[in-house]
């Protein structure tokens, strides 16, 4: 059998892993990286306790110098973890053996969850750095699109029907504003999330007597983390907020993906994902150019949404140490980060090389023969004949245009209630969709000016 035969999910599949994730984010949440984080926290704890005079300084030095994760017996670690139910005691066994006499001070005063939670915080910090970088890159791409297509008219659609004209830059500026807010949310999230966990068996730091707070602060300083105000063994709002933040990010990506897929459909044909030979090809239909990146973005948004719900459920924990809810986080957190990184990667590819057909947008805008700007005509006539009569006149003209296949301008020109008050040039101006973009271009400018880029 090939070496990859044990892969079971899209996240580690030899076929799908780079469609749904990225190598960089997978490495952050890999088994080896996680075990290294466990050891990193144990070493930092020893150093912190040595600083505070709780254990000998020489012991901390030996623990730091002699711990070698690469030399661990991983089969033994797996077997013992399966027996114990948690990986920290098996890890401590091997660290103790490696560190000789100093090994007696490994894990001094800590509890399993202290090490595991703090290690996950270190993973989240690294993962969020990647997410932050990708969001910044995506904001740059969206800002460029918004500038380039600020004045490109197209049909705005509500309930999948043409409604009023907008510009394509207006559409992408709405996307940009979402990700501006995500960048702000991420910055606000960090102080709440990136704090250490060290509180002992029941969260009271009883094993360290009056040195508990001192050691806790020293540990957090060693790791560059914030100091918790209180024990959070069963207060999981930080981790839940992190995954729900990812759900917001992928939810926005899902919205963009759905727009792209609809607008790339044959009947719309207004834009396409970048052309790469063979990408999106059908096994039976040579003409197909499927929106693959958008499909993957949409799928990721649905999966991360499910994990967000799981994290909210996992907040309901029993007493001073959780049973099953804590374990649910072990599934939801890594998968959510990998899926989000994959979706952002697909978005950067799709949007950076987006093919925009401005001529087709203009053609689709004219498909209603001017009916899309019936509101503009009504508002133009209202000062002359009153709003209600203007509504009735335009309503009648729209029915005539639909029944006879006429343009709205021709239908209006056939009505003396209109021609007695405005000339044909005014009718043509009022029925031109390009003249009824409202403040769409100005809204693009406001989004671009809202935050430093």
Q: Are residues 49 and 196 in the same domain?
A: no
In a domain, residue 212? The reply is: no
Query: What does the mean pLDDT of the chain come to?
Result: 89
Conformation bin of residue 124: beta by default, left when phi > 0, alpha when psi is -120 to 50: alpha
Q: Are residues 394 and 247 in the same domain?
A: no
- Residue 3 has a pLDDT of 59
Q: Are residues 277 and 136 in the same domain?
A: yes
In a domain, residue 446? The reply is: no
- Residue 374 has a pLDDT of 82
- Residue 285 has a pLDDT of 45
In a domain, residue 167? The reply is: yes
Last residue of a domain, one of 364, 397, 420: 364
Q: Are residues 71 and 136 in the same domain?
A: no
Nearest to 431 by CA among 166, 168, 169, 165: 165
Q: Are residues 268 and 352 in the same domain?
A: yes
CATH of the domain at 185: 1.20.200.10
CA 310 to CA 26: how far, in whole Å? 21
Q: Is the pLDDT of residue 44 over 80?
A: yes
Catalytic residue, from 30, 93, 182, 282: name it.
282
In a domain, residue 229? The reply is: yes
In a domain, residue 360? The reply is: yes
Could you confirm whether 336 is annotated as catalytic? no
Q: Are residues 192 and 277 in the same domain?
A: yes
CATH of the domain at 46: 1.10.275.10
Residue 115 in contact with residue 41, Cβ under 8 Å? yes
Q: How many structural domains compose the chain?
A: 3
Last residue of a domain, one of 48, 83, 105: 105
* 325-328-330-333 Cα dihedral, nearest 10 degrees: -110
State the residue range of the domain holding 182.
113-200+224-364
**For the residues 268-280, what does the mean pLDDT come to?**
77
Q: Are residues 283 and 406 in the same domain?
A: no
Q: Is the pLDDT of residue 70 over 70?
A: yes
Q: Is the pLDDT of residue 332 over 90?
A: yes
Q: Are residues 179 and 274 in the same domain?
A: yes
Q: What angle do CA 333, 339, 345 make, to 5 degrees?
A: 135
Q: Are residues 244 and 163 in the same domain?
A: yes
SS3 letters across the chain: CCCCCCCCCCCCCCCCHHHHCCHHHHHHCCHHHHHHHHHHHHHHHHHHHHHCCCCCHHHHHHHHHHCCHHHCCHHHHHHHHHHHCCCHHHHHHHHHHHHHHHHHHCCCCCCHHHHHHHHHHHHHHHHHHHHHHHHHHHHHHHHHHHHHCCCCEEEEEECCEEEEEEEHHHHHHHHHHHHHHHHHHHHHHHHHHCECCCCCCCCCCHHHHHHHHHHHHHHHHHHCCECCCCCCCCCCHHHHHHHHHHHHHHHHHHHHHHHHHHHCCCCCCCEECCCCCCCCCCCCCCCCCCCHHHHHHHHHHHHHHHHHHHHHHHCCCCCCCCCHHHHHHHHHHHHHHHHHHHHHHHHHHHHHCCEECHHHHHHHHCCCCCHHHHHHHHHHHHHHHCHHHHHHHHHHHHHHHHHHCCCHHHHHHCCHHHHCCCCHHHHHHHCCHHHCCCCHHHHHHHHHHHCCC
Residue 436 in contact with residue 163, Cβ under 8 Å? no
Confidence of residue 404 (pLDDT cuts 50, 70, 90): confident
In a domain, residue 85? The reply is: yes
The two structure tokens encoding residue 423: 């000339």
Confidence of residue 1 (pLDDT cuts 50, 70, 90): low
* Lowest mean per-residue pLDDT among 180-189, 267-276, 356-365: 267-276
In a domain, residue 335? The reply is: yes
Q: Are residues 229 and 152 in the same domain?
A: yes
Q: Are residues 170 and 264 in the same domain?
A: yes
CATH of the domain at 383: 1.10.40.30
In a domain, residue 355? The reply is: yes
Q: Are residues 338 and 382 in the same domain?
A: no
- Residue 278 has a pLDDT of 54
Q: Is the pLDDT of residue 117 over 90?
A: yes
Could you confirm whether 159 is annotated as catalytic? yes
Last residue of a domain, one of 105, 125, 159: 105
Catalytic residue, from 3, 5, 159, 283: name it.
159
């Amino acid at each position: 059998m090939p070496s990859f035969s044990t892969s079971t999910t899209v996240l580690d599949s030899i076929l799908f892993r780079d469609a749904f994730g990225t190598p960089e984010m997978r490495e952050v949440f890999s088994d080896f990286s996680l075990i290294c984080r466990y050891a990193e926290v144990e070493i930092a704890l020893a150093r912190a306790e040595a600083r505070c005079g709780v254990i000998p300084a020489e012991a901390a030095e030996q623990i730091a110098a002699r711990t070698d994760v690469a030399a661990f017996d991983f089969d033994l670690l797996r077997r013992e973890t399966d027996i114990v139910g948690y990986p920290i005691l098996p890890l401590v066994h091997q660290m103790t053996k490696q560190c000789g006499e100093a090994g007696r001070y490994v894990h001094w005063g800590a509890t399993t969850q202290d090490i595991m939670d703090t290690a996950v915080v270190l993973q989240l910090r690294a993962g969020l750095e990647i997410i932050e970088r990708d969001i910044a890159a995506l904001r740059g791409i969206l800002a460029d699109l918004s500038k380039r297509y600020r004045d490109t008219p197209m049909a705005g659609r509500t309930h999948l029907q043409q409604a009023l004209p907008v510009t394509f830059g207006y559409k992408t500026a709405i996307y940009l504003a979402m990700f501006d807010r995500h960048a702000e949310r991420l910055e606000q999230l960090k102080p709440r999330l990136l704090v250490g966990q060290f509180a002992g068996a029941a969260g009271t730091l009883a094993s360290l007597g009056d040195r508990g707070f001192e050691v806790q602060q020293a540990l957090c300083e060693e790791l560059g983390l914030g100091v918790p105000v209180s024990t959070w063994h069963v207060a999981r709002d930080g981790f839940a907020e992190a995954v729900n933040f990812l759900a917001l990010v992928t939810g926005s990506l899902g919205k963009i993906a759905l727009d792209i897929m609809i607008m790339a459909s044959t009947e719309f044909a207004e834009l396409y994902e970048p052309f790469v030979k063979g990408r999106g090809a059908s096994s039976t239909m040579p003409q197909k150019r499927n929106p693959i990146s958008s499909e993957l973005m949409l799928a990721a948004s649905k999966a991360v949404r499910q994990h967000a719900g799981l994290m909210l459920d996992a907040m309901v924990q029993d007493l001073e140490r959780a049973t099953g809810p804590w374990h649910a986080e072990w599934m939801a957190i890594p998968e959510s980060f990998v899926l989000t990184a994959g979706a952002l990667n697909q978005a950067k590819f799709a949007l950076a090389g987006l093919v925009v057909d401005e001529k087709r947008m203009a053609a689709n805008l004219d498909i209603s023969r001017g009916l899309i700007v019936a509101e503009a005509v009504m508002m133009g006539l209202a000062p002359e004949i009153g709003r209600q009569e203007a509504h009735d006149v335009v309503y009648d003209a729209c029915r005539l245009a639909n029944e006879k296949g006429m343009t709205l301008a021709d239908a209006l020109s056939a009505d003396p209630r209109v021609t007695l008050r405005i000339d044909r040039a005014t009718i043509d101006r009022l029925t031109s969709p390009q003249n009824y973009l409202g403040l769409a271009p100005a809204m693009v400018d406001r989004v671009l000016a809202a935050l430093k880029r």
